[in-house]
């Protein structure tokens, strides 16, 4: 496979794999995982690089969710965020954490043994999974924003540490 170092070549190479493996369109995958960054350097493994961008996104969000579930070592502002969440949101965060953690284990496995086909399958699988995770996270963020300025009633805090 030809090496590339610009966005146009990246898109052309991705299009080859998109057709071969029925992957999401470049614009969609780029929108969620900023894969255009790959065009800044040369690689012969475009699918692995894209999957690594997906892995990075999942790892970033697992850290965020983990900080909300177990804030003991997290930044202080997490306590303010946690106060805005109800039981339903906390349960949803726990489920999201489990889902993302399992995905992270699967994605780590791909780092250990390269396979173009497995990389393509992972891109499809985790792109679709991200669409659901993104919706759930947006719902939680919406609750946080809605409840951010709500005053504590009768001076009672609702920290559940």
Beta carbons within 8 Å of 80's beta carbon, 6+ residues apart: 148
Res. 99: pLDDT tops 60: yes
Q: What is the average pLDDT across 139-159?
A: 68
The answer as to whether 30 is a domain residue is no
Res. 81: pLDDT tops 70: yes
The answer as to whether 50 is a domain residue is yes
Lowest-confidence range among 34-38, 67-71, 109-113?
67-71
The answer as to whether 4 is a domain residue is no
| CA gap 48, 73 in Å, rounded | 33
pTM passes above 0.75: yes
How many domains would you assign to the chain? 1
| CA gap 44, 52 in Å, rounded | 14
CA distance readout (Å), 96 to 58, 63, 88, 135, 149: 11, 12, 12, 11, 25
Res. 151: pLDDT tops 60: no
pLDDT digits (tens, 9 = 90+) for 33-56: 999 998 887 888 999 999 999 999
Domain coverage including residue 49: 45-153
The answer as to whether 39 is a domain residue is no
Pick 98 or 75 by higher pLDDT.
98
């Amino acid at each position: 496979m030809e090496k590339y170092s610009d966005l146009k070549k990246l898109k052309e190479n991705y299009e080859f794999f998109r057709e071969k493996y029925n992957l999401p369109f470049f614009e969609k995958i780029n929108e969620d995982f900023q894969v255009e960054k790959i065009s800044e350097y040369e690689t012969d493994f475009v699918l692995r690089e894209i999957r690594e961008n997906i892995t990075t996104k999942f790892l970033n969000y697992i850290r965020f969710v983990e900080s909300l579930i177990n804030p003991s070592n997290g930044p202080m502002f997490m306590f303010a965020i946690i106060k805005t969440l109800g039981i339903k949101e906390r349960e949803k965060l726990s489920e999201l954490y489990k889902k993302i953690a399992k995905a992270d284990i699967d994605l780590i496995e791909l780092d250990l043994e390269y396979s173009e086909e497995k990389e393509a399958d992972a891109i499809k699988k985790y792109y679709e999974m991200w669409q659901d995770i993104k919706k759930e996270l947006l719902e939680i963020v919406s609750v946080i924003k809605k409840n951010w300025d709500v005053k504590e009633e009768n001076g009672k805090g609702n920290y559940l540490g």
